[in-house]
Amino acid sequence: MRGRLLAALVAVGLSTPAQAVTITGAGATFPYPLYAKWAEAYHAITGIGINYQSIGSGGGIRQINTGTVDFGASDMPLKPGILRKDGLVQWPQVMGGIVVVVNLRGIAPGQLRLDGATLAGMYLGRLKQWDDPAIKKLNPGIVLPDLAIATVHRADGSGTTFTFTHYLSEVDPEFRAKIGESTAVAFPGGLGGKGNEGVAALVARTDGAIGYVEYAFALQNRMTYTLLRNAAGRFVSPGADTFQAAAAHADWTEAPGFYLLLTNEPGRDSWPITSATFILLHRHQPDPEKTREILSFFDWAYHHGDAIAERLGYVPMPPEVTGLVEEMWQQKIVGPEGRPVWHRGGP
């Protein structure tokens, strides 16, 4: 027994220097809390460090292109053409939802009902007052105040803004024509806050404010979220079950380069503003050893990271999708001699 322990200790002692690899990544802020927790758990098991810098999706895309990090992360998927041009592959790592939060005295979380058109109307400046007939019609039982609507948006470029504006562009033609979708857009009015926390703070202290934040953030801060009408016409409450319902309707097999947005999905229980967050990697890898280490981490996260993800309010990718992703790894990611780096079922 003691001998075996000693042998194990020696083995650990010998193997640590060889495995003292640090994988660097940078990008989206939205999945940062999760990637940090995953990295911590993974390091405890394997000794491999993951150094993830949450500098924002735009920064993540820039850094993977300049080659200063091993992997990039973005909330906004890159179009297949751009992936081809820059020699990158991307895959969805985890999903989450964006919720609408308000600050109206006397309104409880989950009480106010909104739909895409009213939301777009507010952000376009078409609806200016909370007691507008369009909002009243959706909320027959609620007394809405005679108060100006103060829309709050992200002042920094953000994948959250991209998903939110993508949803509004999908449901409202005027929004698509006048504002469009991007990580940063020109809203005609309203207040800008930096980061989820900036938006949350502005909403929390401005009477009559409405804003959009990432679900985990609204949860932690006990914010007054609203219900939203989904594509099936039902009012749904944000949560892991409605995000999962939306994800279940996503067809990843028909999405080249995994370019897929999960907004306004059909289904009775689908939350309309659901999104995935993506990892970016170079197709041609100079060091297959290192690449296998990187992919092993994401493989581990797919198979062993669900509990951590759910605890933080994220939605894990379903097994069918992770299978597709690992198939893509095998087909697309190659070493110096053009040989595949990853083999299904482990490195």
Partner 1 sequence: MPADIAISRPREAGRRGRLADQAFRALTLLFAVLILLIVGGIIVVLAVGAAPALRQFGWGFIGTETWNPVTNRFGALAAIYGTLATSAIAMLIGIPLAFGIAMFLTELCPRWLRRPLAVMVDLLAAIPSIIYGIWGLFVFAPFVQRYIEPALIGSLGHVPLLGALFQGPPLGIGVLTAGFILAIMVLPFICAIMREVFETVPAVLKESAYALGTTTTETVWQVVLPYTRIGVVGGILLGLGRALGETMAVTFVIGNSHHIHASLLQPGTTISAALANEFNEASGDLYLSSLIALGLILFVITFIVLATAKLLLIRLEQRAGG
| Nearer Cβ to partner 1 (61/107) | 61
CB 262 within 8 A of CB 238: no
Which of 56, 72, 96, 238 binds partner 1 (CB under 8 A)? It is: 56
Total chain residues near partner 1 (CB under 8 A) = 36
Report, in Å, the least distance between residue 276 CB and partner 1: 18
- Interface characters, 190-219, with partner 1 (x: CB under 8 A): xxxxx---x--xx--xxxx-----------
Whether residue 240 contacts residue 310, with contact meaning beta carbons closer than 8 Å, is answered with: yes
CA distance 231 to 115: 10
**The amino acid at 224:** T
Kindly tell me which of 156 and 174 has the beta carbon lying closer to partner 1. 156
Distance CA 197, CA 216 (A): 11
Of residues 157 and 340, the one with the C-beta less far from partner 1: 157
Name residue 255's amino acid.
Answer: A
Tell me the three state secondary structure of residue 101. Answer: strand
Is residue 177 part of the contact set for partner 1 (CB under 8 A)? no
State which of residues 157, 318, 323, 340 lies at the interface with partner 1 (CB under 8 A). 157
Q: Where are the beta strands (DSSP E) in 188-233?
A: 191-193, 209-214, 227-229
Contact 98, 275 (CB under 8 A): yes
Q: Residue 174 interacts with partner 1 (CB under 8 A)?
A: no
Q: Does the footprint of partner 1 cover residue 125 (CB under 8 A)?
A: no
Q: CA torsion sign, 272 to 278 to 283 to 288?
A: negative
Closer to partner 1 by Cβ: residue 278 or 302: 278
Separation of alpha carbons 293 and 229, rounded Å: 43
Q: Least CB distance from residue 149 to partner 1, whole Å?
A: 9
| Rounded least distance, CB 134 to partner 1, Å | 19
Q: What is the DSSP letter of 257?
A: G
Q: Is 339 in the site for partner 1 (CB under 8 A)?
A: no
Q: Please, what is the minimum distance in Å from the beta carbon of residue 277 to partner 1?
A: 14
Name residue, tokens 């490195």: 347
CA distance 202 to 219: 17
| One of 81, 87, 173, 188 touching partner 1 (CB under 8 A) | 188
Binding status of residue 185 toward partner 1 by CB under 8 A: yes
Binding site for partner 1 (CB under 8 A): 55-59, 61-62, 148, 150, 155-158, 179-194, 198, 201-202, 205-208
